[in-house]
């Protein structure tokens, strides 16, 4: 059985992995789905000091303090930034990296810089206190029906500094044995298209294209778990 760490994207929290986590736990895997500092059930910790380094440490510390090895580290959307930063520091503890419609940064890039290099999927607005970016409507993430109602009360402002701080990488993260990129094509984001195309052209990666909304782990949890089984578990 595998150890799987699921990291959510901007505005979300560990709650968005509920259905995939239940499936994986039912199969006997060890599953962690924490909320990053300043978001969801940890939104009370939002300050101007919460930056990308904070989120990288969230991941690294969980792995170190829990004594986890051979971890399948999954990141959705913005989480491509902190999972890459974490993997660069503890690549020896990881068996696979999974980017689900996620950013794949180079050294010195920020999430804001990646997102700004082309047409963005939606416009971001600052909160009144200037500490964060306000969440867009759930429909932006491709959610419909009951999923809209579920997410509407759970999406929280995203710490602004995490988007502007550049990531510093040595390249050690590329030594992780398995790397999977899943592109959910219904989400209009050229920066994810570029990441998918780069993965598809690299024989050390597996690249999967799906006609699905951005939050495919919520809309199609069985399919998403199936991709993990097929490629990294």
Q: Does residue 96 contact residue 75 with C-beta atoms inside 8 Å?
A: no
- CA torsion 36-225-193-160 (nearest 10°) is -10
β-sheet bridge partners, residue 5: 32, 73
User: Quick check: helix, strand or coil at residue 35?
Assistant: coil
- CA torsion 28-34-40-46 (nearest 10°) is 180
The encoded tokens of residue 144 equal 């419909």
Q: Does residue 84 contact residue 107 with C-beta atoms inside 8 Å?
A: no
Catalytic residues: 77
Helices (DSSP H) in 66-189: which residue ranges? 80-89, 111-116, 146-152, 160-164
> Which whole-number Å values give the CA distances from 103 to 65, 74, 83, 111, 155, in the listed order?
26, 12, 10, 7, 20
**Cα 67 to Cα 215: distance, rounded to the nearest angstrom:** 30
Which residues have a Cβ under 8 Å from the Cβ of 65 and sit 6 or more positions away? none
């Amino acid at each position: 059985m595998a150890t799987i760490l699921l990291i959510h994207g901007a505005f979300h929290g560990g709650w968005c992995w509920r259905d995939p986590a239940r499936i994986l736990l039912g199969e006997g895997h060890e599953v962690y789905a924490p909320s990053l500092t300043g978001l969801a059930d940890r939104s009370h910790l939002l300050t101007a000091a919460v930056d990308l380094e904070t989120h990288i440490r969230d991941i690294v510390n969980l792995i170190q303090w829990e004594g986890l090895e051979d971890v399948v580290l999954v990141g959705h959307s913005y989480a491509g930034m902190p999972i890459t930063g974490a993997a660069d520091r503890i690549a020896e503890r990881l068996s696979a990296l999974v980017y689900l419609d996620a950013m794949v940064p180079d050294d010195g890039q920020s999430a804001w810089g990646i997102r700004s290099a082309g047409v963005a999927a939606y416009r971001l607005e600052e909160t009144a206190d200037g500490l964060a970016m306000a969440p867009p409507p759930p429909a932006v993430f491709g959610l419909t029906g009951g999923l809209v109602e579920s997410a509407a009360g759970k999406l929280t402002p995203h710490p602004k500094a995490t988007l502007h701080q550049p990531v510093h990488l040595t390249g050690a993260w590329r030594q992780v044995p398995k790397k999977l990129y899943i592109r959910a094509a219904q989400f209009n984001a050229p920066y994810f298209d570029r990441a998918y195309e780069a993965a598809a052209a690299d024989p050390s990666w597996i690249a999967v294209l799906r006609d699905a909304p951005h939050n495919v782990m919520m809309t199609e949890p069985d399919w998403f778990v199936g991709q993990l089984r097929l490629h990294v578990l």
